[in-house]
């Protein structure tokens, strides 16, 4: 408790920190497979079935791991976020190439373009708050050190370090996902929600979705779905030996 206080963790970070403090290894949380059934977890088949499920959902859906690396995205999400092709082209050749923070904070990312300056500040903090909370249980792994070192490269990520550190000095502690009253005339009135999707032998997976908050945004979502169509794409490898 004193360590959590000294580190100035947010409420949601504290929750993850307490779970990490149990000392239980990630692999020990999964029930041992029954050898008599001869049924084993098949990650390839699992992702394929999962992708087919999210591919027909008419909102942006991402499947991420505990490091916030994107494993799957439906076509709706790809159209909605309009991720630059340049970021995707070299993603497979670098640590964190598929990480959510790369598509929010990289110098070539387009995420910031859809927000005014004051709105961007809020969005940046929401995303950093999520990243700090989600990764607490895996920060002792070498992959996280490599990932954070990449994200702290100010040339490639000019604002990541600022918001990573700014979280320590935020006076207001969000106890839930921040939601404001939507403007009925705003076609981009959305809220992002996350739920734990699976506990696998290779770590937890999470489903992230963007939901419309007014009729105008719902109408826009219908148009995006008509344009993008059903389907999904796989990005980060699963399982990934670097993360074990």
pLDDT, tens only, 149-158: 999 999 999 9
Asked if residue 27 belongs to a domain, the reply is no
Number of domains forming the structure of the chain: 1
- Domain harbouring 141, CATH code: 3.30.450.180
**pLDDT score for 147:** 97
**Please, what is the average pLDDT of the chain?**
89
pLDDT for residue 174: 64
Residue 198 belongs to some domain of the structure: yes
Q: Which residues of 124-158 are buried (b: 16+ CB within 10 A; e: fewer)?
A: bbbbbbbbbbbbbbbbebebbeebbebbeeeeebe
Q: Please, are residues 224 and 79 in contact by the beta-carbon 8 Å criterion?
A: yes
Residue 28 located in a structural domain: no
Mean pLDDT of 56-85: 95
Has residue 34 been placed in a domain? no
| pLDDT computed for residue 177 by the predictor | 65
**With contact defined as beta carbons under 8 Å apart, do 66 and 137 qualify?**
yes
What domain range includes position 59?
2-22+41-243
**Residues 6 or more apart from 122 whose CB is under 8 A from it?**
178
229 occurs within a structural domain:
yes
State the Cα torsion 92-95-100-101 to the nearest 10°.
Answer: -140
Q: pLDDT tens-digit profile of 118-143?
A: 788 888 988 998 999 899 989 989 99
Q: Is 3 helix (H, G, I), strand (E, B) or coil?
A: helix
Strand partners, 206: 64, 196
Residue 179 is predicted with a pLDDT of: 67
Which of 39-43, 51-55, 67-71, 126-130 has the lowest average pLDDT? 39-43
The residue that leads in pLDDT, 238 or 188, is: 238
In a domain? residue 210: yes
pLDDT at 205 exceeding the cut of 80: yes
Tokens of 60: 């942006």
């Amino acid at each position: 408790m004193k360590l959590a206080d000294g580190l100035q963790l947010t409420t949601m970070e504290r929750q993850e920190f307490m779970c990490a403090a149990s000392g239980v290894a990630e692999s020990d949380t999964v029930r041992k497979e029954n050898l008599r059934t001869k049924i084993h977890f098949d990650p390839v088949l699992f992702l394929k079935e999962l992708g087919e499920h999210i591919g027909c959902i008419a909102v942006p859906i991402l499947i991420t791991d505990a490091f916030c690396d994107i494993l799957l995205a439906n076509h709706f999400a790809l159209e909605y976020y309009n991720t630059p092709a340049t970021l995707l082209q070299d993603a497979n050749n670098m640590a964190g190439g598929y990480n959510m923070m790369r598509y929010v904070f990289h110098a070539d990312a387009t995420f910031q373009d859809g927000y005014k300056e004051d709105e961007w500040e809020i969005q940046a903090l929401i995303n950093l708050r999520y990243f700090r909370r989600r990764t607490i249980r895996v920060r002792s792994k070498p992959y996280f050190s490599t990932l954070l070192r990449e994200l702290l490269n100010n040339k490639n990520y000019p604002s990541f370090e600022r918001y990573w550190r700014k979280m320590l000095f935020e006076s207001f502690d969000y106890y839930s996902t921040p939601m404001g009253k939507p403007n009925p005339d705003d076609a981009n009135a959305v809220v992002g929600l996350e739920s734990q999707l699976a506990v696998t032998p290779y770590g937890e997976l999470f489903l992230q979705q963007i939901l419309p908050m007014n009729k105008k945004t719902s109408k826009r979502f219908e148009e995006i779905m008509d344009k993008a169509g059903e389907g999904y794409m796989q990005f980060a490898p699963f399982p990934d030996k670097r993360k074990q």
